[in-house]
Amino acid sequence: MTDFTVSTLDRRPELRDRIDQLSAGSWPRFLLHGNVSRWHLLFDAFPRYQILLCGPAGELIAAGHTVPLVWDGSPSDLPSTIDDVLLRAESDAERGRKPDSLSALAAMVDAGHRGCGLSGILVEEMRALARCLSCGSLIAPVRPTWKSRYPLAPFERYVDWERADGSPFDPWIRVHRRLGAVPLCVAPNTLTVEGSVGEWEEWTGMEFPETGPYIVPGALQPVSIDRERDLGRYEDPNLWMLHPIEPEP
């Protein structure tokens, strides 16, 4: 097991740039151009909710993004997009509403430390933070790790796939289930990426000679290319999952 200490961005503000570097190395390049306008709030308004795992020399090896919000416990009240999660957290804070839930947004592990169980530890730390805040729920829009291997499989069916032992087929869904989470509903479009054909070719290193759907590395479903309109569009689906949080004794 990798040696680490747990901190938060408000205690280690000097790691802000390193978080950006970690993010750039954790996602397909095109996802960094999605329609999320409020991501800065994680750093400007909610630094105490950004969980950092640091190595023996204080270096950042993993990070988990969360925000506090109010949620009525029903699937219909879940935010539709990542930006909607941030908007609700911002609105609740401005209105002085006491959060009853913590929403995860991302869990990122440095490439040199993957395979050591740190992603699960991040989720455990998110659960601990929710409990510390007296929140009854940790909700998470889970982006399945292996879905990009099966981009043509309908997302609603993929998230129900199981292994021979009955556990979830997808490793990231499996981590959440192992830690006590239950699925709530599919979020069909948590993030939209639009760009010109040239931009998509730059982001992916591919060429798109004609209009149509394309399988792109890292995409969970095909990217739609329209050469006549000079437009590429992708919608990133997630699975909302709920971690019920028991109060501290």
Tell me the pLDDT tens digit for each residue of 235-247: 999 999 999 998 8
| Average pLDDT in the chain | 96
pTM to 2 decimal places: 0.94
Number of H helices, E strands in the chain: 7, 9
**Burial classification of residue 34, based on how many CB atoms lie within 10 Å of its CB (0-12 exposed, 13-18 middle, 19 or more buried):** buried
Residue 135 and residue 49: Cα distance in Å, rounded?
13
Residue 210 and residue 224: Cα distance in Å, rounded?
11
7-36: average pLDDT: 96
Residue 117 and residue 138: Cα distance in Å, rounded?
20
* 188-222 CB burial, b ≥16 within 10 A, e <16: eebbebebebebbeebbeeebeeeeebebeebbbe
CB contact at 8 A, 42 and 16? no
- Dihedral (C-alpha) 50, 53, 56, 57: value to the nearest 10 degrees? -40
Which part of the chain is CATH 3.40.630.30? Answer: 5-190+237-244
Quote the pLDDT of residue 1: 55
Pick the CATH number of 5-190+237-244 from 3.40.50.2020, 3.40.50.2300, 3.40.630.30, 3.40.50.300: 3.40.630.30
Residue 17 and residue 61: Cα distance in Å, rounded?
13
Residue 83's H or E segment, with its range, is helix 82-94
10-38: average pLDDT: 96
